[in-house]
Amino acid sequence: VPKTHYVIGVDLGGQSVKLGVVDTHGAILIRRQVPIDAAQFEEVLSRLIVQQIDALFTEAAALGKEIAGVGMVMPGYMNAARGKLLFAANLPTLSGSDFLDHIRDQVPAKIVFDADCNGAALGEFRYGAGRDIERLVVATVGTGIGGAVVIGGHLLRVVHHISGSLGHIIVDAGGRRCACGARGCLETRASGRALEAMAAKLLKKDERVSGEEINHAAVNGEAWAMRAVRECGWWLGAGIASWCATYAPQQVVIGGGIAALGRSYLEAVRDGLHEVGQPHLTANVEIVPALLGANAGMVGAASMMLHGKE
């Protein structure tokens, strides 16, 4: 029996940081989540993360577990050596800073960095819904839309270490301008933000309608909420049709906050895919919810250290 190893996985998002001690099989031994204020200075954020990592080292030691290293993921583009965060829209103070150097210098173990969409994809491929799939796309649909492609067990890295900006393929060329500067991106139609905007419009409301409210109303059969969920899912399916033309995935895993919308949402995604997509490329594509849920990025980050850099 091979020895079980333990590593720390860190998933830094725009609103919180999730950390965990994870074993060789993807099981989470210790987990913690701390809110962050993304407007804080780089020094404050790196200190907070180092403190949290240190606390996990201490907790693991108390259980007699030795930590073999740390894998950390976050949104944004990194340089070629994955040692510098060049740009992260949701972490503005960290863009172009020495954030990764400061963390590496203070963590008492080997550490690797990667993009959060890559972490989630490896997590689902190695331990979750996408196990043993030859051509896999893992999409994370939250405030925005991220995605990564795993082909033959390897992450497809095109530029900036990501498979591409999968949330920014154009699905509605005559539509709205996206935050990224392009027009009609998938993200403007199918993200959590798009869902909230659609719900507010249907309700003729000026204030924000949260994802939780929409989900609750949809579960209770309220027409406006069901329509918003349906449209948002349909557009994601339309986007997946283009991913199918590009990567020919056998399976597409849907994770992120939006997965909480459940079955009717996934049905809408499948309907959009089959209405829009090329029949022979989309007929047999499985659309499945992520198994690791909100932990996918953290578990995937840890697995980068366990399985090598990918």
Q: Where along the sequence are the contacts to Zn ion (CB under 5 A)?
A: 168, 178, 180, 182, 185
- 96 phi and psi angles, rounded to 5 deg: 75, 5
CB of 46 to Zn ion, least distance (A): 29
CB of 118 to Zn ion, least distance (A): 19
Task: Report the residue number, 163 or 215, with the smaller CB distance to Zn ion.
Answer: 163
**CB-CB contact of 111 with 71 (8 Å):** yes
Q: d(Cα 69, Cα 73) in Å, to the nearest integer?
A: 14
Task: Report the residue number, 104 or 168, with the smaller CB distance to Zn ion.
Answer: 168
Task: Report the residue number, 188 or 251, with the smaller CB distance to Zn ion.
Answer: 188
CB of 156 to Zn ion, least distance (A): 20
Long-range (24+ apart) CB contacts under 8 A made by 60-66 are 60/6, 60/8, 60/21, 60/29, 60/30, 63/29, 63/30, 65/6, 65/21, 65/29, 66/6
Tokens representing 16?
């919180």
Task: Report the residue number, 119 or 146, with the smaller CB distance to Zn ion.
Answer: 146
Task: Report the residue number, 10 or 190, with the smaller CB distance to Zn ion.
Answer: 190
CB of 146 to Zn ion, least distance (A): 12
CB of 182 to Zn ion, least distance (A): 5
CB of 123 to Zn ion, least distance (A): 25
**Residue whose entry in the numeric block shows the structure tokens 């996918």:** 296
- CA 278 to mean position of chain CA atoms: 26
Task: Report the residue number, 18 or 168, with the smaller CB distance to Zn ion.
Answer: 168
Query: Residue 196 corresponds to which amino acid?
Result: E
